[in-house]
Structure 1
Amino acid sequence: MDKRLRVLVVDDSKVMRGIIRKMLGHDRAEVLEACDGKQALELLAAEPVDCIISDWNMPRMKGIDLLRRVRGDGALADTPFVMVTAEAMAANMAEADAAKVSSYLTKPFTTDDLWNTLRRILPDHLPC
């Protein structure tokens, strides 16, 4: 891969951000981190990314609210967005679908699960 993937990981858990960072691998992806949706929006205003991976439950601004803000922003609207949640509740999934989420990952997930999801939603960025 010529260019590393730029991914924004949004999670209030520093440990979870670190796990996802490690799964993405320093040689395959450049990872930016935010502890909640508000910090993510600040970062997105200054830094372009190829993909956003966000937890659902966070203080200050939940992942679903971040997703809605991203989809409502002309410059960010097409950014692939993966929602991560510990609870795969049908109502939450329907709400995220309505907000145009790109994909979901249910915790716990493996490195292969993460990369398979990214390959599916970023076919022009990643080899199969």
Structure 2
Amino acid sequence: MKYILTTTLIMFSFISYSQDIAFGEAEFEVKTTIDAVYVEGEDSFKLSSSGDAGEYGKVYLSYSFTSLFDTEGQGEFTGFAWAQQGENVQEASLQGVWKKQGSVYILYSLDALTDGNLMMVSGVLDMINQTLNFKVSPIQ
């Protein structure tokens, strides 16, 4: 019995650590202002914003927010980002989930960039103050 319990605990510890995501040390903030919102119906809207993305320079974002499962106060989104710093241009595909929390929306996203980086993103969409701000970290 001890052998079975010990083996089970060892196997569980390997499994629990196998899914860890290593965040990069180069975390940065993205601060944007909402430029436009397009309401497409009860369960979907589109949004565009622009602002500063740290070392990536000026950034332009577009999102499509939906709630495919009609879950109250939460759903998913896809989007696209375009950033330019000097002559360097980067693009990104955005995909994640959102959840309403009080008067703001909390966003979590995994994004793929044309420079080969994968990014973990958490942000706050504030429709009242017309801001969309993120913390972004490369995934190692």
Q: Which has the higher strand share?
A: 2
TM-score, with length taken from structure 2: 0.25
TM-score, with length taken from structure 1: 0.27
Flag the structure with larger Rg. Answer: 2
Q: Which has the higher helix share?
A: 1
